[in-house]
Every structure is written in structure tokens, then in C-alpha cells.
Amino acid sequence: MNFEWRKPDGTEVAIDSPDEISHVLNSLKARHDTAKSAGSKMEAAALEIQYEEQYKQWLMCMAFYYQHERKELSLLYRRGRQTAAWWDQWSAQHGNDGEVSELQQALLKGLPQDLSPRSWAEAAKIINRNPDLRPPSTDLDTAKQCLADVIANASSCLELAEYLATKFYHGDRPEQNEVDAYQVERVRLAEALANAADL
């Protein structure tokens, strides 16, 4: 992720986390409260304006952050679904010497014509060389369950990331419990991925 941020002094920098803007917001808020308590109305007003400008940028940065998360999760979800579909087909048709299936054609899309397989078995050999798609050599059922957990958790994260990105984009700050729910799902996804990697 790379977000263009205009700092309070007018300097434009590229940042990779909304946290940098959060630190500035906290500092501006503290200065504003101090100025207000001291009766410095003009200083407080100027700090309010700076805070509002930074807050708008923070909202957009958060929207951009969750859009970036959504993109990565979408790729993970799609790859997981493709892998699950391939494992199902491979286990059901292992030894098949018929024509290349539609699923295989989709998985091999972009392969140069001179490398294109002529049969299901040839296509299976190529696909199974890809570590992301290769069926496990032992306990396929357990691997399928682990993959199903990854897909389910990725789907939940994807749905929440899309919701949060939309909220932030429209200038609506989500409730803290909504942000926390996303973090919980992210932890579950990380655990599911770790379990799948151990197979």
C-alpha cells in the first residue's frame, strides 16, 4: 500500500500505514485542547482546521488500506476456490486420459500454445507442478478441510474489508467493534493458513 499524505506543514509524502496520520491527529488534538483551556481561541480555531483536514485524509487512507486488504483477500479467496475445485477433480478423475477439462483450461490460461497439454493427464502433470495447486501426497481429506477453513475465513475477511472500505470512503467512521471484528477474522485466517501450510 502507498498513500500520498499532505502533512500539516504542506509537505507531501508517501506513507504505507494510516498510523502516521493517527499520531499527527493525536498531537493536534492535544494541542487544541491545551489552547482551548488556555483561552487561545484563534490558536484553537487554527488547530481545529488542521485537525479536520488531517482527519479527512485519515479517512481516505483507511479506505485505501481496506481496499488494498480487499484486493489481497480476493486473490487468496479465488486461488483457494480454484485449488479446492482442482483437488476435487483430481481425486475424482485421477488416471483420466480424456480431453483437457474446462477447469484445467482456466488454470492453464496464458500458457504458450507450444506448451499446451493435449490430454487431461498431461494437463494434470503441469498443474500439479504448481505448489499452490498441487494436491498433498497424504491425507487429502484433512488437507481439503484445512483449505475449506482458509476459504471460509478469507470470505469473512473479504466481506468485512469491503464493508469497512466503503464506510471510510463515504466519510463514516465504523464502530470500534466493527474494526475489532475484522482483526479477529484476520487472526483466524492467519491460523487457518498456518494449519494448511503445515500439511
Q: What is the pLDDT of residues 121-130, one digit of tens each?
A: 999 999 999 9
* DSSP for 130-175, written as a single string: STTTPPPSS-HHHHHHHHHHHHHHHHHHHHHHHHHHHHHHTTPPPP
How does pLDDT run across 133-145, given as a tens digit for each residue?
999 877 889 999 9
How does pLDDT run across 92-121, given as a tens digit for each residue?
887 677 899 999 999 999 999 999 999 999
Mean residue pLDDT across the chain: 93
Q: What is the pLDDT of residue 40?
A: 94
Which amino acid does the sequence have at 87?
Answer: W
Between 23-27, 54-58, 73-77, 138-142, the lowest mean confidence (pLDDT) is in 138-142
Q: If we measure between CA atoms, which residue out of 155, 139, 152, 135 comes closest to residue 83?
A: 135
30 pLDDT above the threshold of 80: yes
39 pLDDT above the threshold of 90: yes
Q: What is the pLDDT of residue 199?
A: 67
Number of domains in the chain: 1
- Domain extent for 67: 3-197
